[in-house]
Amino acid sequence: MSLSVVYAADTGHVLGALELTGGGAPADVGALVGTGLPLRVTARLGGTALNLPVAARRLGAAAVDDEPGAFTDPLSFGVELTTAGRPKPVLAQLAPWPVADPVTLTTSTLSVTLPAPVTRVTPVLVLVSGDTEPSVTSGQLQAGQQEVGVQVRLRTGDERGVLVLIAGLTGLLAAKVVADA
């Protein structure tokens, strides 16, 4: 195993992959990412980078079996834990979104509509880029729920980076223009 991944501890989503020589991933994820993993998405309107740093305390690191797709599309893979709480060596392939754009961002709410209700309690992590730091919301969808709603305070016409991680589904990283509520 020479592949190491950094993943969202809340949901298991792989956020980055690297090939290490020597040992496996360090036990302290901060040794890999510092205070946080800097994710970025390019703004559609201005072409600038919208920053979504994920704090190191929300991350885990794992040495896993080689998976070339983890380098090109890391959000399509997840880390599953054993009953002892250790990462399994094989990455899980996450289900793709069956709808093109499930995210709506208004001045007061970010909402994500799932194609069908979840059948069990499902972890969720949402980041929305801010002027200085991103807004971070974590929680769970309860069995039978089909929508995630996060309260925000934004201005119409602004563009924000959005990271939506729902366990079991491919992660979404996109630039969204804020619409009227």
pLDDT in tens, 85-143: 899 999 999 999 888 889 999 999 999 999 889 999 999 999 999 877 888 999 999 99
Are 120 and 146 contained in the same domain?
yes
Q: How many structural domains are present in the chain?
A: 2
Whether 98 is covered by a domain: the verdict is no
- CATH number (domain holding residue 125): 2.60.40
The one-letter amino acid at 91: L
Domain range for 161: 103-177
Q: What is the pTM of this model?
A: 0.91
Neighbours of 165 (CB within 10 A): 26
Per 3-state DSSP, the chain is made up of helix, strand and coil in percentages (nearest 5) of 10, 45, 45
pLDDT in tens, 44-67: 888 889 999 999 999 999 989 989
Q: What single-letter DSSP state applies at residue 70?
A: H
- DSSP three-state, residue 60: strand
Are 9 and 84 contained in the same domain?
yes
Specify whether the CB–CB gap between 154 and 105 falls below 8 A.
Answer: yes
Whether 64 is covered by a domain: the verdict is yes
Specify whether the CB–CB gap between 107 and 181 falls below 8 A.
Answer: yes
Whether 47 is covered by a domain: the verdict is no
Mean pLDDT of the residues in the chain: 90
Whether 48 is covered by a domain: the verdict is no
Are 78 and 147 contained in the same domain?
no
